[in-house]
């Protein structure tokens, strides 16, 4: 039997086959699937639901330090629970133990590089599949972008010493 994600991917495939292959808001696909009775709500585990809401909320909390740097206040680390299942362990960055912060930074960097790899593969695929079009260009070095954001937030070169 297909797992839940495989089942909902089948809904996507069926929508594209029966309705349209055009870009679409997934709420439209959801309404179509519910109307056709292709999907039914799953039972909700209250603990899991609240934990997901807590994680979403904690991710949004930002602070600004004395130098004017805005940073995320709460940071997760992916690990395994006693049952071997994936687990996110959260801490406040201002009082988290250094190993937690190091792991969080390493995991976020790995996530970013994984996203960059996926983006590069997407662009390479598209360019190869559309040889008669101007190739889409992508730059994966973000140093200039980060520097521009710092400057836009008053943290450009020389500003760190003044703060």
Tens-level pLDDT at each residue, the chain (163 residues): 779 999 999 999 999 999 999 999 999 999 999 999 999 999 999 999 999 999 999 999 999 999 999 999 999 999 998 999 999 999 999 999 999 999 999 999 999 999 999 999 999 999 999 999 999 999 999 999 999 999 998 887 654 444 4
CB atoms within 10 A of CB 93: 15
Residues 68 and 122 in one domain: yes
Token look-up 């836009």 returns 152
CA distance 15 to 19: 5
Q: What is the pLDDT of residue 2?
A: 79
Q: Kindly state whether residues 12 and 81 are assigned to the same domain.
A: no
In total, how many domains does the chain have? 2
CA–CA separation, 144 and 30 (whole Å)? 40
Same domain, 101 and 30: no
d(CA 43, CA 132): 49
Specify if 41 maps to a domain.
no
| 127, part of any domain | yes
* pLDDT at res. 158: 54
Q: Which domain holds residue 13?
A: 4-35
The residues, ordered by sequence, that sit 6+ positions from 67 with a Cβ below 8 Å of its Cβ are: 155, 160, 163
Residue the block writes with tokens 């003044």? 162
């Amino acid at each position: 039997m297909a797992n839940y994600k495989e089942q909902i991917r089948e809904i996507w495939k069926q929508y594209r086959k029966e309705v349209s292959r055009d870009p679409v808001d997934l709420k439209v696909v959801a309404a179509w699937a519910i109307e056709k009775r292709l999907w039914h709500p799953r039972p909700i585990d209250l603990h899991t639901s609240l934990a997901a809401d807590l994680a979403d909320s904690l991710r949004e909390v930002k602070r600004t330090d004395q130098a004017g740097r805005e940073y995320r206040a709460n940071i997760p680390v992916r690990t395994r629970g006693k049952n071997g299942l994936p687990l996110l362990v959260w801490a406040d960055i201002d009082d988290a133990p250094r190993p937690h912060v190091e792991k969080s930074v390493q995991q976020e960097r790995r996530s970013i590089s994984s996203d960059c790899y996926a983006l590069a593969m997407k662009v390479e695929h598209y360019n190869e599949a559309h040889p008669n079009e101007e190739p889409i260009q992508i730059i994966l070095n973000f140093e200039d972008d980060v520097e521009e954001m710092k400057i836009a937030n008053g943290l450009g070169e020389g500003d760190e010493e003044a703060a």
